[in-house]
Amino acid sequence: MLGSFDDAEDLVQETLLRAWRGRAGFEGRSMIRTWLYRIATNACLDFLESRSRRLQEIESPQAAESPYAALQPYPDRLLDQVASSDAEPDTLVIARETIELAYLAAIQHLPPRQRAILILRDALGWSAKETAHLLDDSVAAVNSSLHRARSLMRTRLPRQRLEWSATVKPTTAETRLLERYMDATDRADVAALTALLREEARLTMPPYPTWFQGRDQIATAFELSTNPGSPAYLGQFRTLATAANRQPAVAGYVRRPGDTEFRALGLDVLRLDGDLVIEITRFVRTDFFSAFALPPTL
């Protein structure tokens, strides 16, 4: 619902607090799980409404609608804890097609209630009647909202989405491609990195409205940040492999001129197609490194 690891953590606490305060109102006419989903959904809707108002006051209506306003990676190591049993309904929610960053970014374009309906119906597999009951709405209204949400998602999601594999573990080819990406980064080898990118590859940097479109633009940015003669030179890089949102990811560290250690810089989450990288979502921040069990320095 939120696209943000930090906000999701906060809203889990808010959900449990609301449940505790309202426990006397639980009459046992539904499963506790259903009751908690209702509380969680309403907590998210309240939060999104409040966030939208704040962004409109501080910036502009367009900023409030940006899918990158709060987008954050989610560690696979924590998703694995949720998916400990295939029999659990929660396993559906963290399947690759509904947890990958492309999906989370796309769903942020939906109005909050449409977003909730899409998640309940398509991710959780709830019926229209169950969804309508949770949202205090009619079945007809839910079906209409779902149709509009699905139509918009089709315009936002990558064309290759239907070809995604349901497997959680990376393939041998994906692991090898990740290793080559890390090796090229560590050696500051612009040519080697460029060879791994599809011609129309894209690099975005949430939450900043900054992106590089195409292999040549990405290669130029890499050259500027790794060339000691460039005014944009950052230093020497080192990388560690990790995984986020069921996608291969690379934790980046940099040793700046005059420093003795490689310090955490950010995280690249990769979308792969065959033997090429087609999208890089770069998070230039380090506050979530502990959630990935990543060290602050190397």
State yes or no: pLDDT of 59 exceeds 70.
no
* C-alpha neighbours within 13 Å on the C-beta side of residue 121: 22
Reply yes or no on whether the pLDDT at 62 is more than 50.
no
Return the sign of the alpha-carbon dihedral for residues 223, 219, 289, 47: positive
119 DSSP assignment: I
Write down the pLDDT at residue 154.
87
Supply the mean pLDDT for the chain. 87
Which residues lie below 8 Å from residue 167, measured CB to CB, with a gap of 6+? 96
For 14-23, 89-98, 130-139, which range has the lowest pLDDT when averaged over its residues? 89-98
Residue 55 has pLDDT above 90, yes or no: no
**Could you tell me where in the chain the CATH 3.10.450.50 domains are found?**
172-292
Q: How far is CA 223 from the centre of its chain?
A: 27
pLDDT at 56 over 60: no
Q: How far is CA 243 from CA 136, 194, 246, 274, 293, in A?
A: 38, 22, 6, 18, 11
pLDDT digits (tens, 9 = 90+) for 240-266: 999 999 999 999 999 999 999 999 999
pLDDT cut 90: percent of the chain above it: 65
Tokens 């033997």 locate to 275
Longest distance between any two alpha carbons in the chain, whole Å:
69
Contact 237, 252 (CB under 8 A): yes
pTM: 0.85
Q: In what helix (H) or strand (E) does residue 204 lie, and over which residues does it extend?
A: strand 197-205
Q: Are 221 and 212 within 8 A, CB to CB?
A: yes
Are 149 and 114 in contact by the 8 Å Cβ rule? The answer is yes
Section 204-215 average pLDDT: 89
Residue 86 has pLDDT above 70, yes or no: no
Q: Does domain 172-292 have CATH number 3.40.50.300?
A: no
The phi, psi pair for 85, rounded to 5°, reads: -135, 125
